[in-house]
Structure 1
Amino acid sequence: MHLFTPNHVQLIQACYPPSAALLTSGPEYKPNAQELSRLTYYASNKVGKLNKLGGELEKRVKADCRRAQAGNIRARASLLITLAIIRALASECRRDISLLSSPLIVSVDSAISAMPSDLEVIARAASVFTTWTTYTDGHLMGVDSTFTQEYIATLQRFSAMSRVESKTRDHEIRNRTRLIGLAALTGAVTSEALYSASSHFKPQASIIIPALLVTIFETKLQLLEHVAAIIKEKPTSPYLEEFRSRPTIERRAASIHVHVDGDKGPSEEDVANACLRVLSSLLGHSNGAQVGYVMQAAFDSLEEIQGWNKLDHCRWFAQKVADWTQYQYRYAVPTRLVERLLEAQDVPSTTPLHIALAAMVTMVFTSPTPLVNLSTSDIISNLITLTLRRVAIDPDDSTLPALVQCIASLGTHVYYADQIQDLAAELISRLTLVEINGVKGGGKGEKERSRSTAIRCLLAGLMGLMRAADDHDFTDDQETQEQSKPGATSAASTSKALPDLLGDKGHTHVRPSRRTRVSPEIWQDTLTLLCDADFAVRADYALALLSYVKSEIPKRSALADLKRLRPLADGPSRQGSSTAAAVHGDSTSRFLNALHAYLYVLATCSTLGFASGFSPSPSPSTNGDTSLGANGDINVDDSPAQSQAAGRRSMNFAPRQRKASVAQRMLGQAPSRVSATASAFASDYAHILAILTIVHEQLPVHGLLTGVPMLLALDAATQVDDADDDILQLRQEAIKEVVAKVWLVIGKTWDSSELIKFASEASQVPSCLPTASEIKPGHLVAPQECVHLSRGDSSSDSSSSKCLDTEAALTAIIACPTVQLATGLDGQTLLRKLACQWTPESAFKDAVEKSSNYDALRGESVLKISPALMAIENLSLQSLGRFTRGVGVTDLREALEGRSSMSNPALVNKAPSISTLDHASTVLHGDSMSTRTTRPRTKKRQSPGGPGEVRDVLNRLGIGKQNANSLLKASFPSLQKSDARSSPFNPPYKA
């Protein structure tokens, strides 16, 4: 029996009105103001009593809850007053709120669980909860396991309230309940309890996110867009935005009130506004790892509510998540989306999850929201791996078009000049592997379908990647022009789509792209697809090649300089270098040589593809970047990490060597005369015509020097004595039509009236070739159907038509003044170059870059060493490392002190070596090999600090006597003494 009442209990009891006045204290149900001030003053000055005060208030809350559940109205009023007292104590004792945390959270949880349908009690409890979340430092999370469990349980109750469904048709009650729960979640996402411990962020995010997604996916997109615009114009209060930077003493806790009866109830817009503000606040305060947890919670929630079926909502959600995430952490959004796709790559059939995730990735990449710190190489490697895996499971998988769009959309984010070229090189590398090794599938027919589909997917993604980069660059230029000229209408902005600048003759000024174009050396690896055995692959690649020549390949030529007024920087010296590159060979010339060789094979050969002359072997590559199965297929069953690591290593020497060997053998077997058994269809000849036309239009100098010899050889291939076979006649007519129309294009390009006259007369026959179709880049469409050679009614008399006189055409183009001026060659030189003996094998040899110690365009000697050679661990190559830096005073000091062997290994010969600096390296020209023997240069190692080493350092510094045989050459040869030029020439060998 207590003889007296403790002081803290008396102070608490004094805050309540008399028992008879409890019912009349509504609707505010507030404690007595004066007594409450005494209580808070007592608590703030005697911090040690906070625990007792909290315990007493917790007992009162539990007792009032039990009586209120039984229908006691006074107990309900007492409960509301008790919650108000707890909130006042928490607000006034904010510095020591940790002492009050446990009873406060238990009281809130007890009140919500006891009165789940009483909105007034729930609102008062939510106000207490937000007060604690405002002032806590979050240090109790994880330290006190009991408190942590109590807090998580309370958070789950508010989350359930935020997505509650009304049992009746009264949507007003549902909206009121959701608003209270969302208000409490707002306090949770703006609290240090969420961010203090990373290990407790994930469980809290998995509770908060489902409540938000239910409201988002139940709301119409138009309303969501409207609310998002309001949030952007009127962001959350500065308190919620800056709560983490504000001192505790300056923070203010939000008060939650229930909607007043009689007023118009809250609308769906109000609920959506509160929901999106919670989501934007959560993302705005999360780092990269935490954004990943948010995305994972969203994935789990969408699986539960079947949100993957709502594709438009999924896209909208992904875009807003990326938009609301902090600038430096936005990369986590697409990265996590792609990772989630990889986790579902082995699902046997396509699910709404695959379609939705792929659409979300595309939406994030194509949105105007900038993404920084994004590893585009990892993203594209994962997407390629996923595409190949889905093709291996089912070549007709419905996810493939969406995955192609994902790869293409990555081109909208260009952060450095060579990014698109690097991504294209990655795609082409994987394309080469698939072309050679195929994709693991079922039977033989299934493997062929999988291989064909995989190649077409990668081709579509490659073209979409480059086109997306161009479209994005053009859009940025439009925005820049519009911003720089306010009120003015840009000429480019009036166009709804990217203008077709490819056929422009130089009259329209186009701003250069900020990215590096995909070089012909990279694209040249794909030219073998022109001769693929599958027509669908050939057709798709022909259209991709047309787009590449139009938009990617460098078009700087002498003809362009002649046809327009050049600025001073593009004067005769620039023209001369361009002409020399076209005449003597550069990357574009090598590319076109290979292209013409494969086009000839396509037009004349009876067997196409690697199937006839090559069987993939399971031999590993030199760097082991791709594992092959038992049948030589690409092993796509590896783990995602292994597949990603394999895909990122783009250099695969063994497959490329095998591919080059097969290609050379195929070119060597190309016939000199066309036969009826050739494999090309009418559609193939149409593609050949389109490709040659665009080459001569876009690359006139290069196309003329590399293409005319092939045209002559192709025309000669039609001179067959026995032409009684109808199929052979049709094939001859198709090739002659191609040759005549290409000559007509050459005449129009170079303004040769005589050539135009000859070619026009030969081209007036009715065409037997179909029209080449077009495919939108970045979209995977159904395989194209081939058109066979046939004779129509209009072409019955084509055999009696006039044939083109190739000798006259050649004479006309050689005599053209524009051609001689553009190439810098006279008529005789042009005749020798254009009328040379041409074969696909010789063109293929010219397509291989030859090593040389002399750069014809720069006029200087250059040492070219293969990267593969430098990767070999060979001590003899260490002599080359001696010249990677200059020799200075430090080297002299070290030589004098005898520390050269320890601190400067570049000055020490570790072993006798063979130097290649003064001798020509081994060069492979076709089948011949030119070698030159070199003598090993040996040097006796001097003792540390010996006079020989010091003398050597002095000589290198130019202080001592110069050694004529020194390997070090002067940086400026023109400054050497004149007597050095008169020194006798010593050949490297003796007769």
Structure 2
Amino acid sequence: MHLPFTPNHVQLISACYPPNAALLTAGPDYRPNSQELSRMTYYASNRPGKINKLASELEKRVRLDCRKAKAGNIRARSSLLITLAIIKALATECRRDLPLLTASLLASVNVTLTTLSSDLEIAARAGSVFTAWTTYTDGHLIGVDQSITQDYMSCLRAFTALGRFESQDQEVTNRTRLVGLAALTGVVTSEALYHSTQQLKTQVSIFMAAFVAPLLVVEVLSLDQEVSDVKTQPNSPYLSDFRNRPTMERRATSIHLHVTGELGPAGKDVANAAMRALSALFEHSNGSQAGVSIQAAIDSFNEISAWDKPEHCRWFAVRAAEWTQYQYRYSIPTRLVECLVQDQDAPHTTDRHRTLAAMITSVFTSPIPLVNLSTSDIISSLISVILRRVAKDPDDILLPALVECIASLGTHVYYADQIQDLAGELISRLTAVETNGVPVNGKSDLGRVRTEAVRCLLAGLLSLIHAAEVHDVSKEDGDECKTVHRAALAESGLTVHVEAEGKSARADGHVKPSRRASVSPEVWQDTLSLLCDGDYSVRADYCSTLVTYLEREIPKLWDFTDVDGVKRIRPIAEGPTQQASINYSVLFGDATTRLLNALHAHLYVLATSTNLGVATASHTPSSQRSVNGDTADDKSQGEDTEENAPSRRSLALPRTRKQSVMQRLLRNIPAKLSSFASVSATLSDYGNMLAVLRAVQLNLPIRGLLTGVPMLLALDTALQGETSTDAASVQRVQAIRELLAQTWLSIGKVWCCQGVIDIAQKAIPDGYENRLPTLPDASQGSFHAPRTPVPMAESAPEGSVRALDTEGLLLALVSCETVQEATSLDRQGLLRKFTAPWSAESSFKEDGQPPSANLRNGDGLAPLMKVPHAFMPLENLSRASLARSTRGVGVTDLREALEGRSSLSNTNLRETAPSLSTLEHTSTAHGEMHKLAPVRSRTSQQRNRFAGPGEVKDVLNRLGIGKANASGMLKPSFTSKKTESRITSNLTPPYKT
């Protein structure tokens, strides 16, 4: 019975409650009177101005009942449950005017959870009310109204505490956590979370630990099973697409407790609920929001001590990237790298560092596509972390994990030049570290810091290329283990068997066409100076990396692969033109040839130099080590101020610095050595050199032959000047002789030249055991401990390798028909090519020069170079372009002559540009596909007015048209039929038997 003058809204609310005597028996549902509740909600929905009064009255009742229930009043507890049900019904029916109800609703839920958080039934009912509000709110009041924001954040903390509840009773723990996670799931599917990025950061930092903690108590295999359940059985269509439905069509979920007596929820059920919430969180986030979420997860790992469970952390990182929208997935690994960079200056490596690196690697190696990923920024950040950690401690246990991070970038290739760009970034930093060292603070072993930094970057470079290669291989018949490296085919045009991932390529070379560009020789050439590094571990690691590059990465000629993966020869469409380009590249050089010239120069220095490495002058005492590990007490080196000035430690012009260092090393090598006792190379260095030379001859047989044989002859000539008889000198002579014999033996086998094989085998006595150590296998994808060299024996070895018959080797090689056909050179041409004066300095200079345009001594002489000087005078600048052209005289030349090209020697025409200028451009026939730059041409009238009938007649006579050329100057100028047919004929591969 209501008292007189009771307000109408109070009467409507009071009518929803059962009589006081029935409150004790209202359970277990504790529902209000349905008829009276409908009347109240109808009243509120038709009179929005009364909603505030209704909400205030209900808030008063909640506060009163909470105070009484906390004291043990059972009726007050029942009344509180009914009041919360009334608030939920009011929020559901008055969803259009929910902002009028928000303040009282959040205050009521906050008071309830703060006062009676231990009562699980009341917490579940409060969670249902909170979920109803999160379902229909637009979130505009969060961050605007201070009181509402404080109550909302307090509710989040309360539900987070329920989600992280711990108890000795596992069933109670799981039931409580399910209640908290259910309420928080309503938050991650609400506009209240995503309306403001600033508020999202605050909210996610509060409840993220509740989502992550349940995942750590379940095995990873069980988590994978639960993930599949989440995909196949979504929670509710209203949760998965809540943003696509208008507010009026949404439906709020209710939180129900576990029924007493039934089997309680297990830990995997709690993990399932947490995964559903996490998947909804990342699925509904954009790039910045996903980054905030993963940052909050990393912070929660510190709070719940999750770093000692790397498997769970890696699983979480991969699933977070998978759950994020396709176009925003890049934010996950990017934020992980940023977190690693923030901790790069930590004094010691912790579980956090190792686990973060493992998470980054797992995300990159997963099959999840990561579009819009800035790989260049990521690899730059990882390189910076490596250098910082090495500067702190050369033996830092984080270095192998960082190398794996760099390698994992190779599994995501999104554009053709990506791997080349990443390799270029690594090589640029590698050359800078090689030349300038790593800045360190305090007393540190500068030489060891530099060595480990170079080795780390080398391992990252090798692993990056290897990962990209494995990622870009073919899978035959669904066999995931059988992979074939696409660059393993030899230059000769025949297929060879190549080991890849423990399997062999098929004999027909059935390979998948590459989706990426190989690392160009121009980029790789900056690393060759590591062959002559002062530290053996660097030299050994680089030799392994170099051999892998030569075998699998360096561009090779005649390697045609169609879309279906079958290698074919194109004799009609591309055969003659491509063949001419190949001939020119082989005879006169291309990027690969320049790399090989520099490579053989460095190998010669390694085999004969008495001083390896780079010394840097400083103002410190002479006993202090330089950044290259060498002492700075060499006066001759210290006086070279231009090359050793402290200002050169900057990153500017590393290539210029390296060239100057190489030039200084070359000046210390005489033409003939009188003693090899003081040579710095170890026995292992000669074994590594043999592996490199074999890789060159096997993978680049033509260009390797033309550039390598002169170096082998020069090295053999240096041995002839050996006069010392001490044991050390004799041992090195024997090592070099064995190196030369084994290399010549490989050349003979590659070209099937029995004469070379016989002569090379004669130099090796019967029963002789190879003393040169083998090159260790490249550790692809990992960072190994420094390798130690095998020193020379203390005494002279038993048995000796005889001196090679170089004249017989040359005669046998140049007489080989296979070599002649492959190089398009006859016996005399090959002999001139091989016996041309060679030195390491001249070969090193050629590495940076473009292909020579002087074709006077070659068999492929351009026809227009032999046109009489009267037709092309020396002062005519256009001759420079014609010198690089290989096309013959035809109709076009005759038309140009008629239009006035014969008068180009006229001084009036020298300032007028031709219609297409080829000056300072390389011809397309030389393999460099550069387009000619068109310029403004003269009109035909302008040209014709300078070309009179007499001039045209004179030109025709000089070309041999109209009357016989009695002088005979033109006849011998063009290439003979024999030479021309040899140039345009298909080359026979060197592997032909």
TM-score if structure 1 supplies the norm length? 0.81
In the other structure, the counterpart of 2:325 is 326
What is the aligned partner in structure 1 of residue 158 from structure 2?
157
Work out whether residues 142 and 148 of structure 2, in 8 Å CA contact, stay in contact via their aligned partners in 1: yes
Report the CA distance shift for 1:407/1:708 in structure 2 as closer, same or farther (over 3 A): same
Any runs of at least 4 consecutive aligned residues in structure 1 with deviations exceeding 3 A, and if so which?
Answer: 442-445, 496-503, 557-561, 567-570, 612-617, 628-635, 850-861, 913-923, 955-961, 963-966, 977-985
Could you say if the C-alpha distance between residues 606 and 283 of structure 1 is closer, same or farther in structure 2, counting changes exceeding 3 Å?
same
Change (3 A) 1:982 1:125: farther
How far the C-alpha of 1:963 sits from its partner, in A, is 6.1
Q: Which residue of 1 aligns with 2:615?
A: 611
> Does the 8 A contact of 1:29 with 1:81 survive in 2?
yes
User: Which residue is 1:690 aligned to?
Assistant: 691
| SS of aligned partner of 1:263 | coil
Alpha-carbon offset, residue 629 of structure 1: 14
Give the whole-Å Cα distance in 2 for the aligned partners of 1:84 and 1:671: 98
Q: Go from structure 1 to structure 2 and tell me whether the alpha carbon gap of 1:237 and 1:632 turns closer, same or farther (over 3 Å shift).
A: farther
Matches within 5 A, 1:197-212: 197-212=196-211
Aligned partner of 1:909 in structure 2 is none
Q: Alignment partner of 1:283: what SS?
A: helix
Hey, what does 2:907 align to over in structure 1? none
Equivalent in the alignment of 1:780 = 783
The 2-side partners of 1:37 and 1:413 are apart by 59
Q: Distance in 2 between matches of 1:726 and 1:957?
A: 73
Give unpaired runs (5+ residues) of structure 2. Answer: 490-495, 499-506, 620-625, 628-642, 865-910, 923-934, 960-993
Corresponding residue number in structure 2 for 1:892: none
Partner of 2:728: 727
The worse-fitting range, judged by mean Cα deviation, of 841-850 and 70-79 is: 841-850
Q: Does the CA contact (< 8 Å) of 1:50 and 1:99 recur in 2?
A: yes
- CA–CA separation in structure 2 for the residues paired with 1:544 and 1:590: 19
Shift of 1:142: 1.7
Match of 1:593 among 592, 597, 605: 597
Amino acid aligned to 1:504: H
Tell which deviates more after alignment, 307-316 or 600-609: 307-316
**Could you tell me how far apart the structure 1 residues matched to 2:115 and 2:952 are?**
105
Deviation at 1:980, TM superposition (A): 12
Aligned to 2:25, the other structure's residue is in SS state: helix
Does 842-851 or 438-447 show the bigger shift? 438-447
| Structure 1 residue matching 2:242: 3-state secondary structure | coil
Contact kept, 8 Å, 1:287 with 1:326, in 2: the verdict is yes
Amino acid in the other structure paired with 1:780: F
- 1:285 and 1:328, CA in 2 relative to 1: closer, same or farther beyond 3 A? same
Q: Alpha-carbon deviation of 1:566? A: 2.4
Give the Cα–Cα distance (whole angstroms) in 1 for the partners of residues 567 and 329 of structure 2.
46
Query: 2: distance between equivalents of 1:444 and 1:814?
Result: 59
Map of 2:256 onto structure 1: 257
Instruction: Give the residue type in structure 2 aligned to 1:697.
Output: L
Would you say the 8 A contact 1:529–1:541 is kept in 2? yes
Aligned counterparts of 1:846 and 1:190: Cα–Cα separation in 2: 66
Counterpart of 1:26?
A: 27
The letter for the 2-side match of 1:810 is: L
Shift of 1:599: 0.2
* Contact 2:615–2:644 (8 Å) recurs in 1: no
Q: What residue number does 2:404 align with?
A: 405
**Pick aligned residue for 2:587 from 583, 590, 596:** 583
Equivalent positions of 1:224-303 (< 5 A) are 224-303=223-302
Task: Give the Cα–Cα distance (whole angstroms) in 2 for the partners of residues 757 and 32 of structure 1.
Answer: 108
1:495 aligns with 2:494: no
C-alpha spacing 1:560/1:690, structure 2 compared with 1 (3 Å): farther
Shift, 1:47, TM fit: 0.8
| Aligned position for 1:809 | 809
**8 Å Cα contact 1:315/1:360 also seen in 2:** yes
Deviations 1:795-834 (A, max 9, x none): 4122xx5432111011101000000000000000100000
Match of 1:106 in 2: 107
User: Partner of 1:186 in structure 2?
Assistant: 185
CA positional deviation for 1:21: 0.8
Distance 2:644 2:772 in 1: 42
2:12 corresponds to which residue? 11
The answer to whether the 8 A contact 2:44-2:50 is kept is yes
Deviations 1:254-306 (A, max 9, x none): 01111111111111111000001111100000111111111221122111222
| Equivalent residue, structure 2, for 1:831 | 831
Relative to structure 1, is the Cα distance of residues 592 and 143 closer, same or farther in structure 2, using a 3 angstrom cutoff?
same
String of CA shifts for 1:422-467, please: whole Å, max 9, x gaps.
0101110011101110011367871111110110000000010000
Distance 1:681 1:591, change over 3 A: same
Deviations 1:562-619 (A, max 9, x none): x9972445534323321221111111111000000000000011001112899999xx
Provide the secondary structure at the position in 2 that maps to 1:29.
coil
Q: Distance in 1 between matches of 2:671 and 2:618?
A: 23
Cα distance in 1 between the residues matched to 2:94 and 2:567: 81
Partner of 1:962 in structure 2?
942
Q: Which amino acid aligns with 2:283?
A: G
Instruction: Report if aligned partners of 1:558, 1:575 keep a CA contact under 8 Å in 2.
Output: no
Q: Secondary structure at the match of 1:395?
A: coil
Shift of 1:124: 0.7
Contact 2:161 2:210 in 1 (8 A): yes
* Worse overlay, 12-21 or 221-230: 221-230
Gap change, CA 1:982 and 1:199, over 3 Å in 2? farther
How far residue 30 of structure 1 moved from its aligned partner, in angstroms, is: 0.5
Aligned to 2:793: 790
The one-letter amino acid paired with 1:315 is: R
Task: Decide which moves more: 913-922 or 523-532.
Answer: 913-922
Pairs within 5 Å for 1:591-740: 591-611=595-615, 631=646, 654-674=653-673, 675-740=676-741
For residues 622-644 of structure 1, give each alpha carbon's deviation from its aligned partner in whole angstroms, at most 9, with x where no partner exists: xxxxxx99955868xxxxxxxxx
Q: Spell out the pairing of 1:207-226 with structure 2 (5 A cutoff).
A: 207-226=206-225
How many pairs does the alignment contain? 849
- The reply to whether residue 78 of structure 1 matches residue 79 of structure 2 is yes
2:497 aligns to what?
504
Q: Residues 727 and 795 of structure 2 are in contact (CA less than 8 Å); yes or no, is this contact kept in structure 1? A: no
CA shift in 2, pair 1:443/1:828, >3 Å: farther
Q: Which amino acid in the other structure matches residue 306 of structure 2?
A: G
Residue 877 (structure 2) aligns with: none
In the TM superposition, what is the alpha-carbon distance from 1:688 to its structure 2 partner?
A: 0.5
Between the aligned partners of 1:590 and 1:964, the Cα distance in structure 2 is 45
Q: How far is the alpha carbon of 1:982 from its aligned partner? A: 7.1
Worse-superposed segment, 767-776 or 750-759: 767-776
Gaps of 5+ in 1: 482-488, 618-627, 636-651, 862-912, 924-954, 967-976, 986-991
Contact 1:440 1:633 in 2 (8 A): no
> Structure 1 residue 664: deviation in Å?
2.1
Match of 1:871 in 2: none
Structure 2 CA distance for aligned equivalents of residues 287 and 471 of structure 1: 32
Change (3 A) 1:921 1:415: closer
- C-alpha distance in 2, partners of 1:958/1:294? 66
Aligned to 1:173: 172
CA distance in 2, matches of 1:441, 1:693: 40
CA distance in 2, matches of 1:28, 1:753: 98
* TM-score, scaled to structure 2: 0.81
What is the correspondence of 1:553-572 to structure 2 with a 5 Å cutoff? Answer: 553-557=554-558, 566-568=569-571, 569=573, 571-572=575-576
Partner in structure 2 of residue 368 of structure 1: 367
Cα deviations across residues 340-379 of structure 1 (Å, max 9, x unaligned)? 1111111111111111111111111101111011001100
Residue 463 of structure 2 corresponds to 464
Q: Alignment partner of 2:447: what SS?
A: helix
Counterpart residue number, 1:645: none
CA contact (8 A) 2:815 2:827 kept: yes
1: CA distance, partners of 2:560 / 2:717: 29
Residue type of the alignment partner of 1:773: P
Question: What secondary structure does 1:244 align onto?
Answer: helix
Structure 2 letter corresponding to 1:369: I
Distance in 2, Cα, partners of 1:415 & 1:332: 16
What percentage of residue pairs aligned between the two structures are identical? 52
The answer to whether the 8 Å contact 1:693/1:745 transfers is yes
